Structure 1
């Protein structure tokens, strides 16, 4: 886990960060943005190339200092200057100008249709972060409703209510603790014993029984979070298409989803969750019909035809139980096809580093995840575009026409043109077998029944929303 929003990209970090930091804007119930640090809606000019935002004069950081335009400018410039993995999200912004202390202006080379999502980035205090970035990552200061009380990487983060929070609504819960619990049964026992008020995600094993075992309520929302097997197209045997095609035929993804994911997730056929793909009228069923079935004999033939020796294939995964089950299922299929396969389940920090290295020593295949914001760009550009290689892209696929489609889709606000670019890019990615789409997970929570006003948001990093534009979560009787 990482508490510095300039460099953090994983959902677990973002969930804690969203309690400590505020952005210029945040999300309402869905993907429409509403002002947070901003005093109102942005002013857009020059055909979408100039966006001006006024800051709320009451906005303060937790050290009492006002949030200034300089802090906003720094927040949006830092990822590119520091070559952070998050830079893909701010790259459409060409320059950031401070008009005065409470006015900031973004200039874009081309209109960016998802700019409102970019403006939700958490704002950091320039002087505090620059004084000691390492200390800031462990004990940051934001403008949000909670302060960091203690932090232990990959174990636990404790937050305490900031009593002088400048915004609305004021938080109702004194303390929030994020604890990483790997075992689903341990999660369940936390609810039974009262040690935990909320668990997420709900294990598919216990989804149907959890409300009868515990005094809990299940809250779910279709989630903007996708999982896939990504191939290393940079180094090793999976550079060869025949090898990738062979691996893809070693696994029955439909069965995997039914066995390890349902009912808390569903099958998909690109990195776009089905709700988004269908909302853009993309050819989901056509992509589904083109998926090669599991065929061990055909897999063996592809491996034999490959111009390289396949050797031992490393499947990299985090220690998340479902991720490991998916990885081991693929490894089993590879062994059935006569190939040697090794599953490496590593710590989250190691996974984030190794899954984007592009080195065959680290992985031939990785279990990948992308959490987006509802716009197709957030599911495709960071996973596949060459500009994100080594940051959020561990696939290292460089087909020029796909790169151009992904780039051009960012440069037009015409929805139909964007749709055409996305259809062409996804179809080619699927055809070249650079990844195997698996599923999208619901954002699923089990929470104690005395928790009031607990709502689930489709954007994973915002959950659990202890405070939101609609109110604050409280506990009955406490």
Structure 2
């Protein structure tokens, strides 16, 4: 649930991940579908038989801020940890639900309040110790405990226990349809109980998981190196021996590393660069639909933005269709909601129309004097965000305000976001699970751990709606509840929705098997290098 940065891929800081910061995707939302673009003059076709071995360099736009799955909220950490820790279930190939992972199967009681998970046998942590039911119980209790940033997703769990050597039961206080989806969250990654209880700080510095890779080294602000987990439970995976992940926050520098062959993968490709990379003879671009929203987040603690009429005026003042066309180069769809586009989304909810006259009228009604200063915070290393900010600046100026763009580096942007030290902030957020309720809860729940995605939004009707909505038992009821929240959220305007963009990743000619799922992280266990 991060928000901040180049490619809106940082959940806003918190996948839930909200920083998930710079700011779903293309209209139609064939969730999780991938398009790997290889034009006729691009890389030549490779033998599709995976090759085991080799080292890969993946230039990243975000530096991980932590390695403990229950405490991280930034996408730089979250995307990494999905390759170090496994969960009972994992988001499926088309991102519409989940598939078995550490749980080989599960059953649900007739009344929908008891789940029994049968654990996969023979699973070991990266240090070679066996994974037990006790580890699973400990991990889930930790994910829903007081120190977890994501306890709200597991609030209906009343008991987790081992019923036998290889089974675990989870009991909820009432039927709660999003639970299985929520168990795919990184915070529910299974950790070794003994290691965490022995020294949680040491574990957070050098984590041990059951995922395809282990953290071989970490130099904060510089590079993370992953090495193959030799005890990984999937036969033959991962293919790669090692993955070096240098932190390259500047878009231009990251693309230069890719073009020079110094990196074989580069995340957060600027929209203006995507078409050019497609035509490069030795490069490719992977475009994957994502549960992401790029937006300007409004801080309700600012006297200027506490008035809904002002927030609505700022939305009317910006030509978001023009931004999607000219800045995003068609890699995105106009956003008609204040959370990412997911299942249950309604195309009938209207985006704010570009109407400078309406914007000026709303500002006048709110008593805002002409020339009022409005700071806009943006990531200086994100080319797409900087260009977007310039278009926004022009629109707000036409409405009679005095916008001031403040460019800061990514780390500073994250710090100021979390401290709510901003008035308006251009960022992005991404969902962490396939359930469509996570992001509305993070945004509107009265007890949101992100304080309304760092906006401090206060709306009792919306907070009641996101508390009741997930409890509906039929898909039709869920959809109606989601669409009501979608419309109410647009009326409230806690942010200026800009785009539902895809994840865009640059690839070297030899990279095979790469893809990002709807939650925007990548399955690096399937990546291999053609020889």
TM class by shorter chain equals 0.7 to 0.9
SS at match of 1:168: coil
Query: Structure 2, unaligned stretches of length 5 or more?
Result: 1-63
Structure-2 separation of matches of 1:402 and 1:85: 21
Structure-2 separation of matches of 1:351 and 1:54: 43
2:295 to 228, 231, 246: 228
Q: Does 1:14 align with 2:78?
A: yes
**Distance apart, 1:100 and its partner CA:** 4.0
RMSD: 2.6
Q: How many residue pairs end up in the alignment?
A: 460
SS at match of 2:274: coil
Q: Does 1:239 align with 2:306?
A: yes
Partner of 1:90: 154
Structure-2 separation of matches of 1:386 and 1:398: 8
2:111 to 47, 63, 70: 47
After superposition, what is the alpha-carbon deviation per residue over 1:172-224, rounded to whole angstroms, capped at 9, x for unaligned?
11111223323333233222221111122222112112133341232222112
Structure 1, 10-19 or 263-272: larger mean CA deviation: 263-272
SS at match of 1:233: coil
1:315 to 376, 389, 393: 376
SS at match of 2:78: helix
Contact 1:220 1:444 in 2 (8 A): yes
Q: CA distance change for structure 1 residues 356 and 185 in 2, over 3 Å: closer, same or farther?
A: closer
Structure-2 separation of matches of 1:19 and 1:221: 18
**Distance apart, 1:168 and its partner CA:** 3.2
Structure-2 separation of matches of 1:407 and 1:9: 22
**Distance apart, 1:158 and its partner CA:** 0.9
SS at match of 1:436: strand
Structure-1 separation of matches of 2:174 and 2:406: 42
2:403 to 341, 349, 353: 341
After superposition, what is the alpha-carbon deviation per residue over 1:34-84, rounded to whole angstroms, capped at 9, x for unaligned?
22222x221111522111112223111122222223322332333443444
**Distance apart, 1:448 and its partner CA:** 1.9
Structure-2 separation of matches of 1:85 and 1:341: 34
1:423 to 483, 505, 511: 483
The higher-RCO structure (CA 8 Å, 6+ apart) is: 2
Structure-2 separation of matches of 1:328 and 1:153: 32
After superposition, what is the alpha-carbon deviation per residue over 1:92-123, rounded to whole angstroms, capped at 9, x for unaligned?
32332233443222111222222222222321
Partner of 1:452: 512
Structure-1 separation of matches of 2:264 and 2:255: 11
Contact 1:85 1:391 in 2 (8 A): no
Q: CA distance change for structure 1 residues 286 and 161 in 2, over 3 Å: closer, same or farther?
A: closer
Contact 1:192 1:214 in 2 (8 A): no
Structure 1, 181-190 or 413-422: larger mean CA deviation: 181-190
**Distance apart, 1:269 and its partner CA:** 0.5
Contact 2:323 2:388 in 1 (8 A): yes
Alignment of 1:90-109 (within 5 A): 90-109=154-173
Query: Structure 1, unaligned stretches of length 5 or more?
Result: none
Structure 1, 164-173 or 411-420: larger mean CA deviation: 164-173
1:261 to 313, 316, 328: 328
Larger relative helix fraction: 1
Q: How does the TM-score come out when normalised to structure 2?
A: 0.79
Contact 2:378 2:407 in 1 (8 A): yes
Alignment of 1:153-302 (within 5 A): 153-271=220-338, 273-274=340-341, 276=342, 280=344, 282-288=345-351, 291-295=352-356, 297-302=357-362
Q: Does 1:64 align with 2:123?
A: no
SS at match of 1:419: helix
Contact 1:232 1:394 in 2 (8 A): yes
